[in-house]
Amino acid sequence: MSTRPVDLSTTIAGVRMSFCAMNASGACADTEELRQLATSRAGAIVLKTATVHPFVHPQFRSLHNPGYDKLVPLVRQFAARGGKPVIVSIAGATPEEYTVLGRAFAEAGAVLIEANLADDWVTATLAPFEDTRVLRAVLEPLVAASTVPVSVKLPDRVPFPYARLGRELTACGIRAVVAKNDFAGLEKLLLEAGKAFDVIAAGGIKSGYDVSRALAKGAKAVQVGSALTLEGAGIFARLEREMRIARGERRG
C-alpha cells in the first residue's frame, strides 16, 4: 500500500480546485443544498443556470431560476467565504444577455463563468452552433466583459468537426469546455480539438472508477448531476475514497 497521498486536485482555466469532481449545474440548486456542497469534498460550487429575467417557461424546466439579480447576492455570499471556487452557469437569448450575466457574476466573485450553450432553449433562440458567426458573436463579447475565465457547456452533438470547434473557441478566448461524457462527446473532442482548453466531463458519473476513467481519457475534472441529486453532497467524499482505494493508497 502506497503511503504518499495521490494528488486528486486539478486546475481548470487557471482555477485551482482541491478535488477534481464538482456538481453539474442544476444539481444542488437551493441555498441549503449549496451550503452542504460548500462543506463537502466537491472541488467547486457550480450554480444552477441563471438568465437575465426570471425564467418560468413551462417547456424549459431545466432553466427555471429567479433571474440573475436575485442570484448575484448568493454568489457574493459564497465567494466571500473564501472556500471553494464559485462557478456560475449562464444562458441568454441574445449575445447581450450573456455579456450582462458574465460581467455581473464575475464582479460578484465567481471565478469561472460557464456559458450554457447546451440547453434546448438556447438552441431554440440563439442556435449558436448553426452558424459560427453567432458563436463568435456570443463568446467574444462575453470573454471581453468577464474579468474571469469563461468555459462553454457544449450540447451533446456539435454539427461541425471538433477541429473547427477548437479553433473557433480558442479564437474567442475560451479556456475550458464541459463536454458530454461519452465517446462522441469527450474522446472525439479530445482527439480532434487539440489541447487548447481544459475539458470537464459531465454525464453518468457515479463512482470513483467513472471519475478515474474520464481523467484517463484526458478530462481534467468531472461534473456530477443525477447521482448527486440521489445521494447528496456526501457523494464527493465517496468518489475520493474510491479513487484512493483504486490507486492503492487506502484499503476498502
Ligand X SMILES: Cc1cc2nc3c(=O)[nH]c(=O)nc-3n(C[C@H](O)[C@H](O)[C@H](O)COP(=O)(O)O)c2cc1C
Interacting residues toward ligand X by CB under 6 A: 24-27, 48-49, 62-63, 89, 116, 118, 153, 202-205, 224-227, 229
Q: How far is the CB of 143 from ligand X (least distance, A)?
A: 19
Q: How far is the CB of 114 from ligand X (least distance, A)?
A: 7
By the 8 A CB rule, do 238 and 208 touch? Answer: yes
Q: What Å distances lie between residue 171 and 165, 221, 227, CA to CA?
A: 10, 23, 35
Q: Which is nearer to ligand X, 49 or 99 (CB)?
A: 49
Q: How far is the CB of 2 from ligand X (least distance, A)?
A: 30
Closest CA to 45 of 14, 65, 15, 67: 15
Q: Which is nearer to ligand X, 40 or 116 (CB)?
A: 116
Q: Which is nearer to ligand X, 169 or 178 (CB)?
A: 178
- Angle at 169 (CA atoms; ends 91, 134), nearest 5 degrees: 55
Q: Which is nearer to ligand X, 10 or 65 (CB)?
A: 65
Q: Cα–Cα distance between 77 and 198 in angstroms, integer?
A: 27
Q: Which is nearer to ligand X, 52 or 224 (CB)?
A: 224
Q: Which residue is nearest to ligand X (CB)?
A: 26
Query: What is the four-CA torsion angle of 32, 37, 38, 44, rounded to 10 degrees?
Result: -140
Could you give phi then psi for residue 40, rounded to 5 degrees?
-90, -170
Q: How far is the CB of 121 from ligand X (least distance, A)?
A: 10
Angle between helices 132-145 and 162-172 (to 10 degrees): 30
Identify the residue whose cell numbers are 461534473: 223
Q: How far is the CB of 8 from ligand X (least distance, A)?
A: 19
Angle between helices 95-108 and 132-145 (to 10 degrees): 30
Q: Which is nearer to ligand X, 114 or 168 (CB)?
A: 114
Q: Which amino acid is at 241?
A: R
Q: How far is the CB of 64 from ligand X (least distance, A)?
A: 8
Q: How far is the CB of 9 from ligand X (least distance, A)?
A: 21
Q: Which is nearer to ligand X, 89 or 146 (CB)?
A: 89
